[in-house]
Amino acid sequence: MESAERATAPGLASRLSGLPVSWAEEPARARWPGHSVIVVAVPPLEDLVRRRTRAYDAAYLSSDPTFAHAHVTMLGPFVDAAGLTASVVSRVGQVLRRHAPFTTSFAQVARFPDGMIHLLPDHEEPFRRLTADLADAFPDHSPYGGRYADLRPHLTLDRMGPGVDLDTVRSWVADLAPVCVEVRTAQLSWYEQHGCRTLATWALG
């Protein structure tokens, strides 16, 4: 696993600099510098979340086949482009190796007070422990910027709005749930318009 991390880390600068020309030529005021997020991918829901992403803003659809549109956030927003160093990548790997792989499933559709509709894992504790350990290791990067007291693990599917409610989303996942996944890796995702990609991947355990 350490050799995989060493192979990934030196490529950070090149992957961050590989922005599409169309994005680079946009007026400075229109640019958003992006941010990184440590996530756990949920592949069985990738097609659904890609479709919902396309419905809102196709600029956030990634051409990187390893990018996890469907995911559970472990820590984000994480470091910016200038802070994505090899030592940071190595430190994240050290933290994640303290956690054993685990199996979980997603079946319950729920809604946060802000209208965000999501799936809840049947076992929250492994996710909570991962987030707590990462937050302790990187105290300058509070989960969700410190906005929430209860960091409930979830997989975002959509938001309440015209034509979208809990029953609508339940119908979308009816043939998929329960969604079972073996969590063996976590990855560092970079979010920006026309530039979403995976920057690093680590094994648990």
Q: Is 55 helix (H, G, I), strand (E, B) or coil?
A: helix
The tokens of 123 are what? Answer: 């076992």
pTM of the model: 0.85
Q: State the burial class of residue 58 (Cβ atoms within 10 Å of its Cβ: 0-12, 13-18, 19+).
A: exposed
Give the pLDDT band of residue 88 (cuts 50, 70, 90): very high
End-to-end CA distance of the chain: 10
Please give the pLDDT value at position 34. Answer: 87
Nearest to residue 68, comparing CAs of 181, 155, 189? 189
Rounded Cα gap, residues 11 and 8, in angstroms: 6
pLDDT at residue 18 tops 60: no
Q: What is the pLDDT at residue 12?
A: 46
Mean pLDDT of the chain: 86
Residue 46: count other Cβ atoms within 10 Å of its Cβ.
Answer: 16
For the cut 70, the answer to whether the pLDDT of residue 22 exceeds it is no
Identify the pLDDT of residue 82: 82
Write down the domain spans for the chain.
2-26+34-203
Structure tokens at 153: 């693990």
Which pLDDT score is estimated for 10? 37
pLDDT digits (tens, 9 = 90+) for 111-158: 999 999 999 999 999 999 999 999 999 999 989 877 877 789 999 999
Ranges 18-27, 80-89, 100-109, 121-130: which has the least confidence:
18-27
**pLDDT for the residue 39:** 98
- Per-residue tokens: 56: 């809102």
Q: Cα dihedral angle (163, 77, 66, 83), rounded to 10 degrees?
A: 160
How much is the average pLDDT of 55-69? 96
The per-residue pLDDT for 168 is 97
How far apart CA 36 and CA 161 sit, in angstroms, is: 27
Range of weakest confidence among 2-6, 34-38, 43-47, 57-61: 2-6
Residue 50 pLDDT greater than 70, yes or no: yes
Helix/strand/coil for 15:
helix
pLDDT at 21 over 80: no
CA atoms within 13 A on the CB side of 186: 29
pLDDT for 105 beyond 90: yes
Q: For tokens 């990184």, name the residue.
A: 36
Contacts (Cβ under 8 Å, ≥6 apart) of 9: 85, 86, 89, 90, 200
Domain 2-26+34-203: give its CATH architecture.
Alpha-Beta Complex (3.90)
